[in-house]
Structure 1
């Protein structure tokens, strides 16, 4: 890995820190050559603190360390990306990130769809809403719909109609999202369960 430390007068390159699993940006720090060397050797992210004028391992006082998965430079070799597994909140103010955000996984359109479903759950009286009507009918009806969609997906998988198969897969996923919220859960809870089964090991990456 080549790093152009000489591009900056103070010899410090910016380091973007990203959670390996959630893909969320956690913080921004700076490293000199010694900080990079120590980070790679210890697998604990270490910065150069301008305030202290010395190396500073993130979490050395709070215990909220950043476990290094990978450290790479960008196309100009003047900015680093540190992929990490954080032990606890990253910001010194106690939040998950230095932007005050929750470090939760994001699922693109599925996250948006979850928000819509949750809105319908909070307003089951909403007329004309299919989702709200399911919430009104209760968990047994929602579970029944999931079962029906699962059977339809299996049937379509035996044919060669890709569009029909994808439509049934979408229906099953949609109703599963509703069932999750009927039971008080979200996709992030399923994500957490899957990650616990995988027993993710940063050193194996």
Structure 2
């Protein structure tokens, strides 16, 4: 990444959209200057510039909720950045996974995505959020607490249930067991830090041949 090519504003700043590399959820929007970008590249963790305090701040330096940088992209005008990170905890100072929430009063929420597979993206976001926040009594939290062996066991069990349902020619049971298998597979991918997008890219590559 050539910092000299970037276009900073009159204050020497450039906006940076931070996304979870796994779920692609937008975690926060911050600003960076040339020095903070260099420090980010050096540390491998996000370092921003606080406009209110007029100083650099290393995300998670005191809270431990750092963001490990996986990739930095810039737009066609080179005046904005997208930073893909692996968050080590909540991104927001409120303790929430993301600084963004649903639309509030005065704003109309957007219409549901007509994409019939949008639920997979939504489920990935929920699983990623569960891993970061570990809410009490949530089943996904239980799986992450038990670790990879438990998750693998559940993937194996659900795969077996899918096979049994298919052998029995039971479409209703097959539907439910397939959903369970997909869910546990997404939990496993999150635990392994393998983005689902990379799995999809393999399918696309195979299909193109």
TM-score tier, shorter chain, comes to 0.5 to 0.7
TM-score (norm 1): 0.58
Q: Secondary structure at the match of 2:85?
A: strand
| Residue in structure 2 matched with residue 132 of structure 1 by the alignment | none
Structure 1 residue 3 corresponds to structure 2 residue 13: no
**RMSD (Å) for aligned C-alpha atoms:** 3.2
CA contact under 8 A between 2:40 and 2:46: conserved in structure 1?
yes
Following the alignment from structure 2 to structure 1, what is the Cα–Cα distance between the partners of residues 122 and 74? 33
| Residue in structure 2 matched with residue 108 of structure 1 by the alignment | 118
1:148 to 137, 154, 165: 165
Question: How many residues are treated as equivalent by the alignment?
Answer: 140
Deviation at residue 112 of structure 1 after TM alignment: 7.9
Deviation at residue 191 of structure 1 after TM alignment: 1.6
CA contact under 8 A between 2:50 and 2:57: conserved in structure 1?
yes
Residue-by-residue CA offset, 1:100-144 (whole Å, 9 max, x unaligned): 47xxxxx6245789xxxxxxxxxxxxxxxxxxxxxxxxxxxxx86
| Residue in structure 2 matched with residue 63 of structure 1 by the alignment | 64
Following the alignment from structure 2 to structure 1, what is the Cα–Cα distance between the partners of residues 35 and 50? 12
TM-score (norm 2): 0.57
CA contact under 8 A between 1:146 and 1:176: conserved in structure 2?
no
Whose Rg is larger? 1
Structure 1 unaligned spans of 5+:
102-106, 114-142, 153-167, 201-205
Does the C-alpha gap of structure 1 residues 51 and 100 become closer, same or farther in structure 2, counting only changes over 3 Å? Answer: same
Structure 2 unaligned spans of 5+:
103-116, 124-159, 195-209
Residue-by-residue CA offset, 1:164-189 (whole Å, 9 max, x unaligned): xxxx9xx95x33245x3xxxx982x4
Following the alignment from structure 1 to structure 2, what is the Cα–Cα distance between the partners of residues 69 and 55? 21
